[in-house]
Amino acid sequence: MATTASRGDVRGRRIRAATAAPAGMLGSLAVSRRATERQAADLPGTGTAGTAHREAGGTSVTAANAGRGGTDRFARAVTEVFAPAVLAAAMAVVFASHGADSWRGRVGWGLLAVLFTAAVPYAIVGVAVRRGQLTDHHIGVREQRRAPLLLGLLSCLAGLAALAWLGAPRPLVAAVTVILVVGVVVTAVNQVWKLSVHAATAAASAQMLVVAFGRWMVPFFAVVALIAWSRVRLDAHSPAQVAVGAIAGALLTPPVFLPIA
């Protein structure tokens, strides 16, 4: 009987040991899990505080991207609204109105000048873009500029010849001549360096307004600065390229415009 009891005691101890082992393992795992959670909560990128930190950081990045996107959209709008073809058309209308005696003359001369200085050159670029010959209508790749700029100059020269032959108002002839001369210089420089056509055309336009209408047109040079900023902002030009373009347009205008107008 003693032997039977001792055997029962051994069997009981074995059962209790087998039961206690899983319980101990579960307890150890629970303790380890709580310790890991406490460590994670203490890290800046984890836990509730870490989640809040990441959300705050994500909000900051999103706000920064939104701000940059808004600025880029504004720069792109400035580039489109004051594109060289738009400014050339505007100058044609302004100086046709300034020189003609009747509204019919203003409309007729203005349309003729717009056709050759803006509409035809812009159409040439548009067709080339659709055919895949140009990357975009601002001709962002310098090596692609030669052909469309030369064709635009030929159109402008044809328009100037037509205006002179038909007896257009002298201020209009002078304005178209300025556009042609600035275009020749810009085209020549662009064979080796990406001079800004936007900046050159804008500065020439502002200078023509100042020469023709007086000092109260000087604030238009603020628009030139805005256009130059937009081209740099959009990574279309360097600051030097827009600065030299603006200087060239401003300096070329008076000696060309004044003798004719």
* 33 pLDDT more than 60: no
- Contact at 8 Å (CB) between 209 and 150? no
* pLDDT for position 6: 45
pTM for the predicted model, two decimal places: 0.75
Domain that holds residue 37: 2-64
Do residue 60 and residue 90 come from a single domain? no
Do residue 53 and residue 111 come from a single domain? no
* 186 pLDDT more than 90: yes
Do residue 38 and residue 99 come from a single domain? no
| Residue where a domain terminates, one of 64, 90, 114 | 64
Q: Would you say residue 94 lies in a domain?
A: yes
Picking from 48-52, 70-74, 98-102, 198-202, which range would have the lowest pLDDT averaged per residue?
Answer: 48-52
Q: What angle do CA 48, 49, 50 make, to 5 degrees?
A: 90
* pLDDT for position 91: 97
Do residue 52 and residue 87 come from a single domain? no
* 243 pLDDT more than 80: yes
- From CA 194, how far away is CA 175, in angstroms rounded? 24
Give me the mean pLDDT over the 194-222 stretch.
97
Q: Would you say residue 219 lies in a domain?
A: yes
- Contact at 8 Å (CB) between 190 and 142? yes
Do residue 125 and residue 246 come from a single domain? yes
Q: Would you say residue 120 lies in a domain?
A: yes
- From CA 18, how far away is CA 37, in angstroms rounded? 30
Give me the mean pLDDT over the 162-169 stretch.
96
Do residue 114 and residue 204 come from a single domain? yes
Query: In the chain, what percentage of residues exceed pLDDT 90?
Result: 70
Domain count, the chain: 2
* pLDDT for position 209: 98
Which residues fall within 8 angstroms of residue 212, CB to CB, at 6 or more apart? 95, 98, 171, 257, 261
Do residue 24 and residue 119 come from a single domain? no
Do residue 216 and residue 173 come from a single domain? yes
* 35 pLDDT more than 80: no
* Average pLDDT over the chain, rounded to an integer: 83
- Backbone Cα Rg of the chain: 37
Q: Would you say residue 75 lies in a domain?
A: no
CA dihedral 179, 181, 183, 189 (to 10 degrees): -150
Do residue 55 and residue 144 come from a single domain? no
Q: Would you say residue 70 lies in a domain?
A: no
* pLDDT for position 228: 98
Do residue 156 and residue 255 come from a single domain? yes
Q: 37 vs 66, which has greater pLDDT?
A: 66
Please report the DSSP string for 145-210 in residue order: -HHHHHHHHHHHHHHHHHHHHHT--HHHHHHHHHHHHHHHHHHHHTTTS---HHHHHHHHHHHHHH
* 40 pLDDT more than 90: no
Three-class DSSP category at 124? helix
41-82 pLDDT, tens per residue? Answer: 444 444 444 444 444 455 554 544 555 788 999 999 999 999
Q: Would you say residue 36 lies in a domain?
A: yes
CA dihedral 128, 109, 179, 208 (to 10 degrees): -140
Q: Would you say residue 76 lies in a domain?
A: no
Do residue 112 and residue 160 come from a single domain? yes
- Contact at 8 Å (CB) between 196 and 228? yes
Neighbours of 108 (CB within 10 A): 15
Q: Would you say residue 169 lies in a domain?
A: yes
* 21 pLDDT more than 80: no
- Contact at 8 Å (CB) between 202 and 227? yes
120-164 pLDDT, tens per residue? Answer: 999 999 999 999 999 999 999 999 999 999 999 999 999 999 999
* 22 pLDDT more than 70: no
| Largest pairwise CA distance in the chain | 140
Do residue 50 and residue 179 come from a single domain? no
* pLDDT for position 99: 83
* pLDDT for position 101: 84
pLDDT tier at 100 (50, 70, 90 boundaries)?
confident
Structure tokens at 48: 């509730």
Question: Positive or negative CA dihedral for 147, 148, 152, 158?
Answer: positive
